[in-house]
Structure 1
Amino acid sequence: MQRRDVLKQLSALAALGSLGVPAMAQGSGFETLPQPLPTDAKGKVEVLEFFHYGCPHCKAFDPLLEIWIKKLPADVAFQRVPVTWGNPQLTGFAKLHLTLAATGDLGRLHGQVFEAVQGDHLPLHTEAGAQEWAVKKGVDAKKFADAYKSFGVQVALQRVQKIERDYKIQGVPTLAVDGKYITSGSIAGTHENALKVADQLIAKSRK
């Protein structure tokens, strides 16, 4: 899903913001960033997935990605990065993601958030809607409320927003490898191809 499909009202600003930015170098199913970005995975190859819970393409990609993640070698560090694009609803989804990570419930509930948002059309971008749903899913109410309002989650939100800006992400789902390369279904042709390209980029990054 392209950013313009979610944030049409920001398309003009996005176009202005892209002026003067060096073009990414094209590869076979991937693009190379103009300048490498720092990664947090010291001694490992970092893979980031940029996504948001309102994106149908992200929902379709997620089961394939989950299988792929389970097969990653020990020298690869994977992290999901929820994009916000300055949009209040997407920011709410990102905050839910980070809150579930803080409470230790993200692993079992991540996939269910997609269905709740896109299938059941629940308002999980709001604090009340997110907490009501999470409690029904077995998350402790006080633990969730404390985490949602915590300084740690706020810092984590600011961090993922900075990563999103640094990578200049315009569409999701997108995979970034080693702070140097990006690939996606739209770049590689299919979601399956994007994962194959990511494997190749991981191997390339080890050299």
Structure 2
Amino acid sequence: MSLSRRRFNQLLAGGLGVALAPNVLAGLVEGQDWRAIARPQSEAPEGKIELAKFFSYGCPFCGQLARVMKPWLAELPDDVVFRRIPISFNRAAWANLARLALALEETGLAAELDQAVFDAVGVDREPLFTETAILDWLADKDVDTEAFRQVFNASHIRAQVARNDRLQARFGINSVPTLVVDGRFVVVGEQARSFDDILEIAGELIDKARA
């Protein structure tokens, strides 16, 4: 469900700071750089463009993209709203990670702990796949685990994971991380050489959505 090793190597071949590949500079190519969604859907307010990131804490490449995206997101135009969509691919372990991501957002802890979770799972190989493991890890971060447990187990959190998974299926997303612009355009980036290239494509699709 995560990026293949071959795909990952393609993304990183030139390093994260290299210049864009010539095909990106020459303009986007449908089917190569992006694809259209047959049944578009966006939750952005009227007049806004949604940039959605489908991800999982269980995907190490998602953590690396998150780190690269942080300064890029700070420069987004005012008419773009960013939405994080944790998904599970119907895996129980990943469903728990998706609930963790949603609960961190709801409790206001995402800004502090989001990258830490990515690093714990993707770099340190901590198996944060059960409620017990997650709460033990949070306890070490001085989080009120009893209050967090209530949010983590809330019915609306579980329902949101299910909705996210249905949206992932509707958009035909079969790997993470995947960026979607305006509920209409999926970033494909077959010729991208770095995550920066992926973000450049997303930026051009934002311009396309605005036009």
Shorter-chain TM band: 0.7 to 0.9
Which whole-Å deviations, capped at 9, do the CAs of 1:82-126 have from their partners, x for residues lacking one?
Answer: 121111111111111111112110111110001111222222120
Alignment-derived partner of residue 39 in structure 1: 42
Give the letter for the 2:105 counterpart.
A
Q: Where is the helix percentage greater, Structure 1 or Structure 2? A: 1
**183, 195, 199: which one pairs with 2:199?**
195
Which whole-Å deviations, capped at 9, do the CAs of 1:21-72 have from their partners, x for residues lacking one?
Answer: xxxx925622222x24221102210111111112222122111111111111
Q: Distance in 1 between matches of 2:194 and 2:188?
A: 8
Q: Distance in 1 between matches of 2:189 and 2:114?
A: 21
SS in 2 for 1:188: coil
The share of aligned pairs that are identical, in percent, is: 31
Alignment-derived partner of residue 138 in structure 2: 134
Do the aligned residues in 1 keep the contact of 2:54 with 2:84 (CA within 8 Å)? yes
Which whole-Å deviations, capped at 9, do the CAs of 1:141-163 have from their partners, x for residues lacking one?
Answer: 22111101112212221221122
SS in 1 for 2:42: coil
Do the aligned residues in 2 keep the contact of 1:188 with 1:194 (CA within 8 Å)? yes
**54, 59, 64: which one pairs with 2:58?**
54
Answering whether residue 168 of structure 2 is matched by residue 171 of structure 1, we say no
Gaps of 5+ in 1: 6-24
Total equivalences in the alignment: 187
Give the letter for the 2:43 counterpart.
D
**121, 127, 139: which one pairs with 2:125?**
121
Do the aligned residues in 2 keep the contact of 1:28 with 1:188 (CA within 8 Å)? no
Alignment-derived partner of residue 18 in structure 1: none
Answering whether residue 102 of structure 2 is matched by residue 98 of structure 1, we say yes
Do the aligned residues in 1 keep the contact of 2:3 with 2:61 (CA within 8 Å)? no
Q: Distance in 2 between matches of 1:187 and 1:40?
A: 29
Structure 1 vs Structure 2 CA RMSD: 2.0
Q: Distance in 1 between matches of 2:125 and 2:31?
A: 38
| Mean Cα deviation higher: 128-137 or 153-162 | 153-162
Which whole-Å deviations, capped at 9, do the CAs of 1:171-197 have from their partners, x for residues lacking one?
Answer: 111100011111145463431111111
Post-superposition offset of 1:133: 0.9
Q: 1:186 to 1:137 in 2, by over 3 A?
A: farther
TM-score by length of 2: 0.81
Q: 1:75 to 1:141 in 2, by over 3 A?
A: same
Higher relative contact order, chain-length normalized (CA < 8 Å, sep 6+): 2
Do the aligned residues in 1 keep the contact of 2:34 with 2:189 (CA within 8 Å)? no
TM-score by length of 1: 0.82
